[in-house]
Amino acid sequence: MTPDLYAAWLTAGNNLQPVGAWTVGHWTGLVALAVAAAALWVVWWSIHDDTRRADRNDRIAARRAARFEERPEPAEPGSNEDDLLICLQILAATDTARKED
């Protein structure tokens, strides 16, 4: 038994005619509702968009890095003898603990 597609199409068309008539009659309100929804989405997106803030922070950091100001040079590596002695003591203690296990 094959379905009668033409009868189904006519039935759906008859059932959808009131919806189409209502849509045509209220199109201005539907357009206003769509515009308001789009505006609310834009406002929500602008508040919750973290990438925009990250891009702005990146631009600020790039401007600061590109300035021609004197910057302090970092210290020479290994110039602090006290830190070197502490590191050597920690290394010796860990080696001793490994040998005991």
Tell me the per-residue pLDDT of 28-56, one tens digit each, with 9 for 90 and over.
999 999 999 999 999 888 877 666 666 66
Residue 78 has pLDDT above 70, yes or no: no
Mean pLDDT of the chain: 77
Q: What pLDDT is stored for residue 30 in this prediction?
A: 94
Residue 13 has pLDDT above 70, yes or no: no
What is the DSSP code string of 1-37? Answer: ----HHHHHHHHHHHHHHHHHHHHHTHHHHHHHHHHH
Please list, in sequence order, all residues whose beta carbon lies within 8 angstroms of the beta carbon of residue 78, skipping any fewer than 6 positions away: 84
Q: By percentage, how much of the chain surpasses pLDDT 90?
A: 17
What is the rounded distance in angstroms from the CA atom of residue 10 to the CA atom of residue 15? Answer: 9
Q: What pLDDT is stored for residue 100 in this prediction?
A: 66
Mean pLDDT to the nearest integer, 89-97: 83
Question: Has residue 100 been placed in a domain?
Answer: no
Question: Has residue 44 been placed in a domain?
Answer: yes
Question: Has residue 88 been placed in a domain?
Answer: no
Domain extent at residue 31: 27-68
Question: Has residue 90 been placed in a domain?
Answer: no
